[in-house]
Structure 1
């Protein structure tokens, strides 16, 4: 969440967030810091399309579209 919040903050001045980690966070913290996807690259030609900055860019663009399309009463 920290990295995501920082990426959003770079797009939206003054963005802030408060959150409490899910109780399952302890399990996730036991996982490796990064996953090795080299086999997927080799076997399937897989390549990530989004880094976190691109994810935020696309997400905010789509949310802004939805907001503009929203019907208000």
Structure 2
């Protein structure tokens, strides 16, 4: 594994924002679909909060993606 890899919190935040926008969803729409609070989605995207495994599962289901996508560098 390369030593210059992006920190996981930053990588997840970046991928979440990209995937949400790619799907044409607002933070509020994604939060509603995932059963989460809109503020929580925003905090994850701003790297202010690290999502739980359960939250990532809910978000990935709402986006229709495999959760592993959050950890892939683009």
TM-score computed with the length of structure 1 as normaliser: 0.27
Richer in helix (by share): 2
